[in-house]
Amino acid sequence: HLRCVHFVKCKFYLDLKNVKKRLFSDYKDNTPLLKNMQRNKQVAMGRKKFNMDPKKGIQFLIENDLLKNTCEDIAQFLYKGEGLNKTAIGDYLGERDEFNIQVLHAFVELHEFTDLNLVQALRQFLWSFRLPGEAQKIDRMMEAFAQRYCQCNNGVFQSTDTCYVLSFAIIMLNTSLHNPNVKDKPTVERFIAMNRGINDGGDLPEELLRNLYESIKNEPFKIPEDDGNDLTHTFFNPDREGWLLKLGGRVKTWKRRWFILTDNCLYYFEYTTDKEPRGIIPLENLSIREVEDSKKPNCFELYIPDNKDQVIKACKTEADGRVVEGNHTVYRISAPTPEEKEEWIKCIKAAISRDPFYEMLAARKKKVSSTKRH
Ligand SMILES: *[C@@H]1O[C@H](CO)[C@@H](O)[C@H](O)[C@H]1NC(C)=O
Ligand SMILES: *[C@@H]1O[C@H](CO)[C@@H](O)[C@H](O)[C@H]1NC(C)=O
Ligand SMILES: *[C@@H]1O[C@H](CO)[C@@H](O)[C@H](O)[C@H]1NC(C)=O
Ligand SMILES: *[C@@H]1O[C@H](CO)[C@@H](O)[C@H](O)[C@H]1NC(C)=O
């Protein structure tokens, strides 16, 4: 009995060996299959390399004849994106190199935006890679996006600049509406008002803006590799508004004022509904610091660095309507809560730091608002 079992085992083993041998010879004869296996393995390795270092990954794939060295082929590879990390795709597409810029354009060409509204197109585009953090990179990518959108949807916007500016207004709207840290949720009317005059000096159709607003309101943008670090908060100077107490320059009394931070200026109003501000403080060349005040909590101060007695360039409106220069060497301000103080300091700091992105956007906004429509 034992011998019998042994025999069966042995036979089984020999059969197995035969099967393996046959399989192997199949492979050997079937070189295309073997080659394909090797190729797949190398492609997988190339993807891995790409995710660690995009440039090296692409180079590896080209050297091993797995990818043609043309911007169209590379763009196709990134567009398919199989097994690729979207952060790495964003990094590669954002590079300043002439060749990478060509790949970026080929990549954008692969996106089909015809008959999509701007929000739908942005959803598709922003999902295909992760937007890198650097202002110049974002600018190049969004410029390419705007060009492609206008190419696919002739006549919707007067110019690509209009499309570019509106795209950012939408990305910012996404944050304002969906980021729980942003208390002030703009209404559709405000969104429309904010985008007045951006169509080469003219207005965009209200219905178009309403649709875009509703779309974002109903569903925020999803971004790949969302690490909770909201792009919009990092790369835009968030506008902010709220009640603060301001210490007078000449007469040292605390006055409650409605402050609005926008366009690198701090405006303050007596009432939220006032059309004209009581004062304007341009933030250029100023710094901000926390201070203790014996009378008020949560204080901070705007001041001119390295300068004790110089008056800050600012203006205010007198009771009789005259606009005069301010008389402050520092602006001391008190926030209602420690959290609000932190937020104001953060936002004002961001405004002061002359975010290059903010300046690029502001310049374009100026351009699209001042162009005369023919
Ligand atoms: C993609 O790469 C980024 C940056 O290296 C990393 O933080 C992220 O976790 C990666 N994502 C995946 C899905 O591996
Ligand atoms: C849109 O808002 C959501 C929710 O705050 C956020 O996760 C996402 O990153 C935002 N998208 C963009 C493109 O800023
Ligand atoms: C800020 O500083 C620069 C350089 O010193 C100067 O040219 C500019 O006029 C200053 N701006 C304001 C508002 O004081
Ligand atoms: C600012 O101070 C100067 C000198 O103290 C004074 O002459 C001027 O009237 C003040 N201006 C305002 C707007 O209070």
Q: What is the pLDDT along the chain (374 residues), one digit of tens a residue?
A: 656 666 666 666 667 667 666 666 665 566 777 788 888 999 999 999 999 999 999 999 999 999 999 999 999 999 999 999 999 999 999 999 999 999 999 999 999 999 999 999 999 999 999 988 777 888 899 999 999 999 999 999 999 999 999 998 998 899 889 887 677 789 999 999 999 999 988 999 999 999 999 999 999 998 887 665 555 555 555 678 899 999 998 888 999 999 999 877 899 999 988 888 899 999 988 999 999 999 999 999 999 998 778 899 999 988 888 889 988 999 999 999 999 999 999 889 877 866 666 677 778 888 888 776 54
Structure tokens at 95: 């590079």
- Closest-approaching ligand to the CA atom of 53: 1
CA of 285, closest atom in ligand 3 = 1
- Residue 247 pairs in a beta bridge with 254
Active-site residue identified among 72, 109, 134, 270: 134
Residue type, 219: E
**Which pLDDT belongs to residue 231?**
57
Tell which residue, 301, 329, 332, 299, has the closest CA to residue 314: 329
Q: How many CB atoms lie within 10 A of CB 32?
A: 8
**Which pLDDT belongs to residue 29?**
60
**Which pLDDT belongs to residue 232?**
54
Q: How is the chain split into domains, by residue range?
A: 1-30, 33-105, 111-218, 240-356
Q: Do domains 111-218 and 240-356 have the same CATH topology?
A: no
What percent of the chain shows pLDDT beyond 90?
57
Instruction: Choose one of 250, 253, 309, 313 to mutate for the ligand 4 pocket test, by most ligand atoms within 8 angstroms of C-beta.
Output: 250
Instruction: Choose one of 123, 125, 175 to mutate for the ligand 2 pocket test, by most ligand atoms within 8 angstroms of C-beta.
Output: 175
Active site residue 134: yes
Ligand 4 binding pocket, CB closer than 6 Å: 250, 324, 327
In CATH, the number for domain 33-105 is 1.10.220.20
How far apart are alpha carbons 49 and 55 in whole angstroms? 9
CB 347 within 8 A of CB 333: no
How far apart are alpha carbons 359 and 363 in whole angstroms? 6
Dihedral pair phi/psi, residue 271, rounded to 5°: -125, 155
CA distances from 178 to 37, 174, 183, 198, 230 (A): 47, 6, 10, 24, 11
In CATH, the number for domain 240-356 is 2.30.29.30
Contacts of 298 (CB under 8 A, 6+ apart): 334, 335, 336, 337, 338, 340, 341
- Residue 263 pairs in a beta bridge with none
- Looking at domain 111-218, its CATH class is mainly alpha
- Closest-approaching ligand to the CA atom of 251: 4
Nearest protein Cα to ligand 1, atom 10: 85
CA distances from 21 to 5, 13, 16 (A): 24, 12, 8
Q: How many CB atoms lie within 10 A of CB 303?
A: 20
CA of 249, closest atom in ligand 4 = 14
How far apart are alpha carbons 229 and 245 in whole angstroms? 31
